[in-house]
Amino acid sequence: MEKKKNYGKYKRGDVVYADFGHKPPGVEGGIRPCVIVSCNASNHDGAPMVTVCPLSSKLKPIPVHVQIKPNDVRGYRLKTISDFLPEDIQTVSKMAIRGKTGYIPVEADVMEQIDRALIRQLNLMRAARNMVMEELENGSENKEN
């Protein structure tokens, strides 16, 4: 019987350094901090990939960017205020992750801002609104993933 490979377990909100490799101009590349945005059900130790959004210390006034302050991260903090870049969302191999430095608590205000930025970037406002309406009609709460 073949043993399943263990790729390591990560959680949504983890701040990790990932190697994005060489990218064309305008796309974030190299080794840089990022936030894991894939749901926890997809981040189990048997999954070889996670979905992340890179961070940049080059702050730009773009509506979908979220500024993450060093004290927003628990554990080893960011060195400086960084922009969360939802327009550069990528799925990366867990083998490209160089290390976990900390995490953003799911209940933190900045995580709510990240969720909203992803909804705007991916144009999911209508679907999000419909999900909320369905939850209200059914009287149940959506379980965190």
Residue 85 placed within a domain: yes
Radius of gyration of the chain (CA): 16
Residue 7 placed within a domain: no
What is the spatial distance between Cα 137 and Cα 125, in angstroms, rounded to a whole number? Answer: 18
The helix/strand/coil state of 50 is strand
103 in Cβ contact with 36 (< 8 Å): no
Residue 1 placed within a domain: no
Q: What is the pLDDT of residues 18-38, one digit of tens each?
A: 998 887 676 677 899 999 999
Residue 51 placed within a domain: yes
Residues in the chain: 145
The per-residue pLDDT for 141 is 56
Report residues of the chain scoring pLDDT below 70.
1-2, 24, 26-27, 140-145
Domain range enclosing 133: 14-138
The per-residue pLDDT for 1 is 60
Count: domains in the chain: 1
Question: Which CATH number characterizes residue 131's domain?
Answer: 2.30.30.110
The answer to whether the predicted template modeling score (pTM) of the entire model surpasses 0.75 is yes
Which contacts of 122-130 are long-range, i.e. CB under 8 A and separated by 24 or more positions? Answer: 122/86, 122/89
pLDDT cut 70: percent of the chain above it = 92
The helix/strand/coil state of 42 is helix
Other CB atoms within a 10 A radius of the CB of residue 94 amount to 18
Angle 83-87-92 from CA coordinates, rounded to 5°:
95
